Structure 1
Amino acid sequence: MATETTTHRFATQAVHAGAAPDPATGARVQPIYFTNGFVFESTEQAADIFAMRRTGFSYSRGSNPTVAALERRVAALEGAKAAVAVSSGQSAVLLVLMTLMKSGDAYVASSRLFGGSLGLMRRLDGRYDLKPQFAKGLTPADFEAAITPDTKAIICESIVNPCATVMDLEGIAEVARRHNLPLVVDNTLASPALIRPIEHGADIVVHSTSKFLGGAGQTIGGMICDAGRFDWKAAGSRYNLINEPWPDYDGLVITERFPEISFAVACRLFGLRDLGPGLSPMNAFLTLTGIETLPLRMERHCANAKAVAAYLKDHPAVEWVSYPALPGQPGEALAARYVPQGPGSIFTFALKGGEPAAVKFIMSLELISHLVNIGEIKSLAIHPATTTHRQLDDADKRAACVGPEAVRLSVGLENVEDLIADIAQALAQVG
């Protein structure tokens, strides 16, 4: 759904954007519309909605009033023209790739991504011939060096999962513009409270709303945000779903009917109407509620993470900590430039005792949960080498700071003194 511009500041938008008192009842909280379908006023209205000649609700797989409120809110927070909610962050990445490309097409991707994204990319390559061209490093020059005539997009994360490296989004966006390619940024680890990639040149932003946006670890969801400024029309047949007629929609050409939200409309028609990974209205409602406290939570997340990372850096059992807010860390300058509040609350650190020590540490934690999710109110720990990033080879694991000696922490909102005490007792048991 499209979103209107507003002058309200970020925290106000987190509470109000996209929703309003219910006109039928006066309810202040966004209602949950548990319905599969919506009654049409006439056969003409039904036909017009299905042919995209008129906006409206028809079937909740494609759009639902509760889901639409979430789409408007996230679009407002990201500064996007429109957003499309889907059933998971993995679905969001999948729909972006499949909407942009057809078999035989290629895209440049960061070699440092969430393990699930890397796994998906390799599977799509093997089964559907969508070719990832992995950049050798994380600099804009590395991305530019990987571009070929077959490249259709550039994809990276704003903050790398899980090593917390902050990407030079403006530099990568300049590369994308030089080559007339859309820049896709996964903003899950930062959330729009820390980084708004569209302000730095991104064309498409994706989220796993299961993380910081929802915050409580209750729901799965994803979001695709369309900045509305990439010139799809000029690219012509390179992006055929967006630029060529849809015979089943009476010859609809998306860029002509919806010039400012072309990519979002293509994702909705192909992604939701055809493929079907729609978001439950209950999950949308819970995510809307979570977003209301996003600015407050991110401030506490970052403060706690910096304190925990500093404690770990000085501990004799710890080999290294990957958190660029600490003085002298790699990437410190980029972190200071893009995320002055702090580079989120997800990072890795390594135990001098190797994998046995890492496993012992995780199993000795009492307050911090051994759990694969991130971005929750509660603090979480996982061994990425054997779980989230297990498909990487040994060299790639070490380069991504997820070798067998590494632990990933997602630092929550508990009192930081209690978190450090739990970490201290677990490290004591490691020896």
Structure 2
Amino acid sequence: MNDTPKYGFDTLQVHAGARPDPATGARQTPIYQTTAYVFRDADHAAALFNLQEVGYIYSRLTNPTVAVLAERIATLEGGVGGVCCSSGHAAQIMALFPLMGPGKNVVASTRLYGGTVTQFAQTIKRFGWSAKFVDFDDLDAVKAAIDDDTRAVFCEAIANPGGYITDLDAIAPIAAEAGLPLIVDNTSATPYLCRPIEHGATLVVHSTTKYLTGNGTVMGGAIVDSGQFDWSASDKFPSLSAPEPAYHGLKFHETFGSLAFTFHGIAIGLRDLGMTMNPQAAHYTLMGIETLSLRMERHVANAMQVAGWLEKHPKVAAVTYAGLPSSPYNDRVARICPKGAGGLFTFALKDGYDACVKFVDSVNLFSHVANLGDTRSLVIHSASTTHRQLTEEQQVAAGAAPNVVRVSIGIEDPADLIADLEQALAAV
């Protein structure tokens, strides 16, 4: 259904990429729990392996259930294609993999999930890559950080943990002027609240574990290709523009055009990195996406009520929710996330670290877990958990200072959520 833009978001979240099963007529997308697929004959097998024909070879590369999910997410994001993989962290590596090389760097926002900061600051060094962390509100600093070895610009649409909204309209032209792809993690916003490609993003990545699945059951990741970047405009991206030895000199951009990145992600990324999504995980995520807009509306409405209540509480020093009129990022909501500022934010307690620990130990309805985007409301003290590996300076820059608690507001009755917060704060 990628060729039917007349359909609205609510329709596409149910139907995009899916058709009745031709063998059985099954209406729901089946779980194709198989490792391999029978070839019609030797010529068919050769054509698939030579990338001359699209089809299924081996489920490390492609699987019919996973393919439906990839097409649905790509459709909702307004991209030309997508690749699904095993987790959000896997999606980030797979997004960078065709772009980077030894000695190359990515310019990244300081406001990122703590695991992403660690992945970029430490783990990618093993590949010979590096990251430069910059405050993306300082546009001059972003420009200054880009050098001849930079191969991508990376940020989150709605940053975890603070709910900070990145001004994509200001960042995208900087990346474009430098001839670089802008990669946007849209996990916290989802395509219902924000469509980064419409703001100039080249690639969009997701941890499908979070809001897209929405029920806290399975891990997954996705990369969506806008199809709008010219990979052959310079010699910076040889994986996509130069001859590929593994395919007898095939040039991905020359051969596949706007789908070059998508095909590379499958034919090289999944083939060699093996970060495969299993079909059952894809099935759960597809079912979750069917109600995405309904859930996100409730997440936003509840977050507005809870954040407004917290802002007035005498034990709360500050609330970061961008949907509040008091937020310095409130003006970005209408431009970047016109349907709402999401369900994720933090609040600071006046009594500091120890008060935060006591608070998370005192909640009842909120679940103290290392996750977000669930239908259930979740809470965590980031400085001692998800952002524990960072220095205090990095924690503060990321919005996870020691006196800060992160909440992911679910779809329960907001009065019940407020009552639980009230009794936990009383315990502090």
Match of 1:283 in 2: 281
**Aligned residue number for residue 60 of structure 2:** 61
Query: What is the CA distance between 1:177 and its match in structure 2?
Result: 1.1
User: How far, CA to CA, are the matches of 1:83 and 1:141 in structure 2?
Assistant: 32
The counterpart of 1:248, out of the listed 246, 249, 258, is 246
5+ long unaligned stretches in structure 1: none
Secondary structure (helix, strand or coil) at the match of 1:288 reads helix
- Per-residue Cα deviation, 1:332-368 (whole angstroms, up to 9, x for no partner): 1112322232211111101111111111111000010
In the alignment, structure 1 residue 73 sits paired with structure 2 residue 80 = no
Distance 1:390 1:138 in 2: 24
For 1:228-247, what aligned pairs fall within 5 Å after superposition?
228-236=227-235, 238-247=236-245
Contact 1:111/1:136 (8 A) holds in 2: yes
* CA deviation after TM superposition for structure 1 residue 396, in Å: 2.4
Distance in 2 (CA, whole Å) between partners of 1:124 and 1:423 is 37
Q: CA deviation at 1:142?
A: 3.0
CA RMSD of aligned residues (A): 1.2
What's 2:118 paired with? 119
Residue 116 of structure 1 and its aligned partner are, at CA, apart by 1.0
Residue 270 (structure 2) aligns with: 272
Aligned mate of 2:422, from 419, 424, 429: 424
Q: Distance in 1 between matches of 2:372 and 2:31?
A: 26
Residues 135 and 145, structure 1, Cα contact 8 Å, conserved in 2:
no
Determine which of 297, 304, 307 is the counterpart of 2:305: 307
**C-alpha deviations, 1:370-410, integer Å up to 9, x for none?**
00000000000001001111122112222333111110000
**Residue equivalent to 2:370:** 372
Q: In the alignment, what sits opposite 2:335?
A: 337
TM (norm. structure 2) is 0.98
Q: Is the 8 A contact 1:139 1:168 kept in 2?
A: no
User: In the aligned structure 1, how far is the partner of 2:6 from the partner of 2:310?
Assistant: 41
Task: Look up the match of 2:92.
Answer: 93
SS of the aligned residue for 1:134 comes to strand
1:169 matched to which residue of 2? 168
Contact 1:219–1:283, Cα closer than 8 Å, also in 2: yes
Identity %: 47
Partner deviation per Cα, 1:237-287 (whole Å, 9 max, x = no partner):
x11111121222122111121001111111112210111011000000110
User: Is residue 317–residue 352 contact of structure 1 (8 Å, CA) maintained in 2?
Assistant: yes
- Mapped to 2, the partners of 1:406 and 1:370 lie a distance apart of 14
Superposed displacement of residue 322, structure 1: 0.6
Check conservation: 1:325, 1:336, Cα contact below 8 A: no
Partner Cα distance (1:415, 1:428) in 2: 20
Please state whether the residue corresponding to 2:165 is helix, strand or coil.
Answer: coil
SS in 2 for 1:320: strand
1-structure distance, mates of 2:23, 2:224 = 29
Match of 1:107 in 2: 106
- Tell me whether 239-248 or 60-69 shows the greater mean CA deviation: 239-248
- 1:3 deviates by 4.4
Q: In structure 1, what is the Cα distance between the partners aligned to 2:375 and 2:263?
A: 33
Which stretch shows the higher mean deviation, 104-113 or 369-378? Answer: 104-113
Equivalent residue number for residue 293 of structure 2 = 295
Distance 1:202 1:137, change over 3 A: closer
Aligned 8 A contact 1:4 1:76 in 2? no
Question: Would you say the 8 A contact 2:136–2:166 is kept in 1?
Answer: no
Residue-pair matches, total: 428
* 1:137 Cα deviation from its structure 2 partner: 4.1
Give the AA of the match of 2:223: I
Give the Cα separation in 2 of the matches to 1:42 and 1:137. Answer: 54
Give the letter aligned to residue 37 of structure 1. Answer: A
Quote the residue 1:349 is aligned against.
347
How many Å separate the matches in 1 of 2:140 and 2:198? 21
Asked whether the 8 Å contact 2:192–2:339 carries over to 1, the reply is no
Which stretch shifts more, 161-170 or 330-339?
A: 330-339
Deviation at 1:125, TM superposition (A): 4.4
Q: Normalized against structure 1, the TM-score is what?
A: 0.97
Q: Which moved more, 1:133-142 or 1:90-99?
A: 133-142
Give yes or no for contact 1:190–1:343 (8 Å, CA) kept in 2: yes
SS of residue paired to 1:343? coil
Deviation (angstroms), 1:139: 3.9
Name which of 302, 312, 328 aligns with 2:326.
328
Find the counterpart in structure 2 of residue 35 from structure 1. Answer: 34
Structure 1 distance, partners of 2:144, 2:207, is: 29
Measured in 1, the distance between the counterparts of 2:384 and 2:357 equals: 10
Unaligned runs of 5+ in 2: none
Separation in 1 of the partners of 2:397 and 2:25?
55
C-alpha contact 1:3 1:82 (8 A) present in aligned 2 = no
